[in-house]
Structures are given as structure tokens and as C-alpha cells.
Amino acid sequence: MRKKRLKSKMGEIDYGVFYSVCILLAIGVVMVYSASSYYAMFNEGDSTYYLKKQLVWSVAGIVSMVFMMSFDYHKFKKITPYLLLITPVLLIAVHFFPSVNGAKRWIVLGPLSFQPSELAKYVVVLFLALSIDLKGDNIKKFTKGVLPCLLIAGLFSGLVLAQKNLSIATIIMIVTLIMIFVGGADIKDLFYKIAPVLGIAVVGFIFGESYRLRRLMNFTNPWKDPAGDGYQLIQSFYSLGAGGLNGLGLGQSRQKTLYMPEPHNDFIFAIIGEEVGLIGCLFIISLFIFFIWRGINVAMKAKDSYGTLLAVGITSIIAVQAIINIAVVTGSMPVTGVPMPFISYGGSSLVINMIAMGILLNISRQTEGKEI
């Protein structure tokens, strides 16, 4: 009887969101194998090494998404305070584990690793959705409404920044601004009080670390240091240029043969451009645009403001990450470590994103009583 009542409360999922995510995930599995096969054979002695791991994480992600589709998103109101306590501990705990690729961003336990910053992005979204919903019209007041949200988001962003991860810290703050705006904050506060402070902070963080400044300068002309900081971006240009309109063919990339560092990670979009060309790249960009549109539609149809804010936050994280990744790979902004959602290789990032998709789909199932 209880299951029947649950079904009666929930409608169908938004199949636009569901299918776009599944297609992106399938493309990711194929391209991780294609991009990593040579690298995996050289380093691990098994061309399918990264494919097998990505398949395991993809299955785990799909199972998590399906489970979350039936998990009432309102229950996160009770869970959020606990996540707010646990996540900072995890963000601090990374400093007690060995560095991976020169950065302390992972909790490593034997063969398993977990990146808490991936969780932190969505915990901030959960907190903001709950906080803004509870504040109601007080969100229009800077001191009572906006400032507390910024302080908590800033705390999480600062803990991520302590891991020398400016990109994820920036994403957290961008999504925070989007949610505060959607929640009803005074636009004057956003433009005249918050934006200038954040702008100054970003400039300070860039000039505060020499490697960030070098990245910024090499972005303007990577050929100044073609064997150093400009190397990865130059290889990305070679990949995209070689692909042309139709690409060289699936599996035929030349840059993945140890020219592009870890081609299955943040720069996988360059390998996609080389193998399936501009047409393939535009198809993937179209999928992300379609997903964003459907995510906004879910937010607009949500039956309460909490659901609307949660859907906006989840959609914004995927959108901002995709935009930054594509901008970096195409040389439109300085190189920074942001993976392409659903496509780049990675376990914790993929599974957590899929859990978030399940929450978004659950919101899409509960739309009664609200017309657009």
C-alpha cells in the first residue's frame, strides 16, 4: 500500500534529462577507451585498464541514479545539516593523504580514491536550496539573506581552494551566485556588493600563486613556453585542428599516443574533436544545451521553491563545468583542471554527478500543482 501511495504522488521522469545523460555517459565510456588505450598499454600494460574502471563506475552511477529517482528529494532537508558537518572534515582530511599528481585532493584507501571537492559542490547546492527556501522574502535583504549564504559557500570554496583547486572553488561561487539570484536576491547587491569582491578575490588568488599566473600568461600565447606550461594547450590545438570537420575516425587520434598528457581526463574533448571532428563536438555541445534546457524546465515545473532551487543548482553545476571545460580545451580561457561531466575519466566525479541526476529526475516526477 505504501508503494502504491508513493507511485500515486510521483509522475514520470523528464525523459529529456534521462536520455541526454545516458547518451553523454555512453559517449564517455567509448571515448575514455579510445583516448586512454595507448596510454593504458604503455603505463599499465593493459589497453582496457581505464575502460574497465570507467565501466564499473558507470554501472555504479546508473544504479545510484535509478535509486535516487525514487528517493523523495524533500528528505534531503533533514540530511543536509549532517552533510554540512561531514564534508568540511573530508575536505580537511585530504591533507593527511599522499598527493596524487602533485595535488592533495583525494582520500586514498587502497585501490579506492574519493575526491571530496566533487561532493562539496552539491552539498553547497543542497544547503543553499534549503537556506533560501527557509528565508523566503528575507533573501532580498543583504545582511539577513544573502550574506549568510555567501559565508557558508565561501567556507567550502576556501577549503577547496586550500587544495590548490581554484577551478572547483570558482564553480562553487558561480553556482552560489546563480542560486541566490534565482532565489530572489536584489540584483543590485549581486552587481555592486558581491561581484566586485569576488572579482578582486579571483585576481588575488591568481597573482598569489606563481603557477596560476604562468597559466594565465601562457593562455595568451602558449608558444612562449611550448615544452612547459603551454604544452598541453598546444597539443589540444593540434588535436582539434587535425580533426577538421569529420575527424580522423574513432580510435585514430595521434595526439593520444603519449603527446597529450592523460588524454582521457580533462582534455578528452580535444581527442573527441580529433577523432570525430567538428560534427561530433557540436553533437556533444548540443546534448549539453538540450540537458540545460530540460533542467531549467524541471526547475520551472517543480512543485515548490525548494525543488526549483535544487534543480537550478544541479543543472548549473553541469552547465558551468561543461562550459569551462570546452573553453579551456579550445583555448578560450586559461588552462584549469575541470573534467567534462559524464565524459571525462573519473570515479567519484561520475558517481556523484549521477546521484545528482537522480535527484533532478526525482524533482521532475513531482510537478503537480504548478503550471507554467
pLDDT in tens, 92-142: 999 888 777 667 788 887 777 889 999 999 999 999 999 999 988 888 888
Across residues 312-335, what is the average pLDDT? 93
The average pLDDT across 8-17 equals 81
Residue 371 pLDDT > 70, yes or no? Answer: no
- For residue 3, the model assigns a pLDDT of 40
CB within 8 Å of 224: residues ≥ 6 apart = 217, 218, 230
Instruction: Supply the pLDDT for residue 208.
Output: 65
Least confidently predicted of 112-126, 188-202, 246-260, 335-349: 188-202
Q: How far apart are CA 268 and CA 266, in angstroms?
A: 6
The pLDDT score that the predictor gives to residue 329 is 93
Crossing angle of helices 166-183 and 305-329, in 10° steps, is 140
The reported pTM is: 0.91
Report the chain's mean pLDDT, rounded to a whole number. Answer: 88
Task: Give the pLDDT mean for 5-16.
Answer: 69
Indicate the domain borders of the chain.
11-365
Radius of gyration of the CA atoms of the chain, in A:
21
pLDDT above 60 for 82 = yes
Phi, psi torsion values for 100, nearest 5 degrees: -120, 120
Predicted local distance difference test score (pLDDT) of residue 102: 67
pLDDT over 50 (residue 28): yes
pLDDT of residue 253: 92
| pLDDT of residue 72 exceeding 90 | yes
Most confident of 126-130, 206-210, 217-221: 126-130
* 140-167 residue pLDDT tens: 888 888 889 999 999 999 999 888 888 8
Nearest to 266 by CA among 163, 165, 157, 369: 165
Min mean pLDDT across 159-163, 334-338, 339-343 is at 334-338
Comparison of pLDDT for 8 and 328, the residue scoring more: 328
Q: Give the whole-number percent of the chain exceeding pLDDT 90.
A: 62
CA 72, 74, 76 angle in degrees (round to 5)? 95
- The three three-digit cell numbers of residue 157, written as one number: 570554496
Q: Please say if the pLDDT value at position 368 is more than 60.
A: no
Mean per-residue pLDDT, 25-30: 96
pLDDT of 210 reads 66
What's residue 105's pLDDT?
Answer: 86
Q: Indicate whether 201 pLDDT > 80.
A: no
Q: What mean pLDDT is predicted for residues 213-225?
A: 74
* pLDDT at residue 143, as a whole number: 82
**Which range (91-105, 114-128, 209-223, 356-370) has the least confidence?**
209-223
3-state secondary structure (DSSP) of residue 201: helix
DSSP string, 325-363: HHHHHTTSS-----PPTTTSS-SHHHHHHHHHHHHHHHH
- pLDDT: is 54 or 188 the higher one? 54
pLDDT, position 212: 65
